[in-house]
Amino acid sequence: MKKIKVLIIDDSALVRQTLCDILNSDPAIEVIGSAADPILAAERMRTVIPDVITLDVEMPRMDGLTFLQKLMSQHPIPVVMCSSLAESGSETALKALEYGAVDIITKPKMGTKQFIEESKTRICEAVKGAAAARLGPLRAMRTMKEVSPKYTADVIMEKPNSKAMILTTEKVVVVGASTGGTEALRVFLEMLPEDTPGIVIVQHMPENFTAAFAKRLNSICRVTVKEAQDNDTVVRGRALIAPGNHHVLLKRSGARYYVEIKDGPLVSRHRPSVDVLFRSAARYAGKNAVGVIMTGMGDDGAHGMKEMFDAGAVTIAQDEASCVVYGMPHEAVKMGGVNKVMSLLNIAPEVLRLCS
Question: What is the per-residue pLDDT across 299-346, written as a single tens digit (0 to 9) for each?
Answer: 999 999 999 999 999 999 999 999 999 999 999 999 999 999 999 999
Lowest mean pLDDT among 5-14, 107-116, 188-197: 107-116
Contact (Cβ atoms closer than 8 angstroms) between residue 282 and residue 321: no
CATH number, domain 4-132: 3.40.50.2300
> For residues 218 and 163, which has the higher predicted lDDT (pLDDT)?
218
pLDDT of residue 63: 83
Q: Among the options 34, 84, 103, 204, which is catalytic?
A: 204
- pLDDT class of 141 with cuts at 50, 70, 90: confident
> For residues 49 and 111, which has the higher predicted lDDT (pLDDT)?
49
The pLDDT of 21-36, averaged and rounded, is 95
Residues of the chain with CATH 3.40.50.2300: 4-132
The pLDDT of 141-161, averaged and rounded, is 63
- Is the predicted pLDDT of residue 88 greater than 80, yes or no? no
pLDDT of residue 148: 43
DSSP H or E segment with residue 351: helix 344-355
Q: Among the options 83, 178, 273, 322, which is catalytic?
A: 178
Q: Is 3 exposed, middle or buried (0-12, 13-18, 19+ CB in 10 A)?
A: middle
Lowest mean pLDDT among 3-12, 37-46, 86-95, 113-122: 86-95
The pLDDT of 183-208, averaged and rounded, is 95
How far apart (Å, rounded) are the C-alpha atoms in residues 92 and 244? 17
Residue 204 known to be catalytic = yes
Cα torsion angle, 230, 234, 237, 243, sign: positive
The pLDDT of 12-25, averaged and rounded, is 92
> For residues 121 and 291, which has the higher predicted lDDT (pLDDT)?
291
pLDDT of residue 155: 67
Q: Give the angle 143-7-98 at the CA atoms, nearest 5°.
A: 20
pLDDT of residue 112: 63
- Is the predicted pLDDT of residue 161 greater than 80, yes or no? no
CA-CA distances (angstroms) from residue 40 to 4, 59, 84, 93, 314? 21, 12, 22, 21, 51
pLDDT of residue 146: 46
How far apart (Å, rounded) are the C-alpha atoms in residues 264 and 271? 8
Class of domain 153-355: alpha beta
- Is the predicted pLDDT of residue 45 greater than 60, yes or no? yes
Residues of the chain with CATH 3.40.50.180: 153-355
Residue 9 neighbours by CB distance under 10 Å: 27
pLDDT of residue 164: 42
Q: Among the options 300, 303, 319, 322, which is catalytic?
A: 300
- Is the predicted pLDDT of residue 86 greater than 80, yes or no? no
- pLDDT class of 116 with cuts at 50, 70, 90: confident
The pLDDT of 66-77, averaged and rounded, is 90
Q: What mean pLDDT, rounded, does the chain reach?
A: 90
What confidence tens digit (pLDDT) does each residue in 215-260 have? 999 999 999 999 999 999 999 999 999 999 999 999 999 889 999 9
Lowest mean pLDDT among 50-54, 64-68, 125-129, 237-241: 64-68
Q: Write b or e for each residue in 217-240: b if 16 or more Cβ atoms lie within 10 A of its Cβ, otherwise e.
A: bbeebebbbbbbeeebebbbebbb
- Is the predicted pLDDT of residue 264 greater than 70, yes or no? yes
What confidence tens digit (pLDDT) does each residue in 50-60 have? 999 999 888 87
Residue 178 known to be catalytic = yes
pLDDT of residue 84: 77
pLDDT of residue 110: 64
How far apart (Å, rounded) are the C-alpha atoms in residues 125 and 18? 16
Q: Write b or e for each residue in 111-139: b if 16 or more Cβ atoms lie within 10 A of its Cβ, otherwise e.
A: eeeeeeebbbbbbbbbbbbbbbbbbebbe
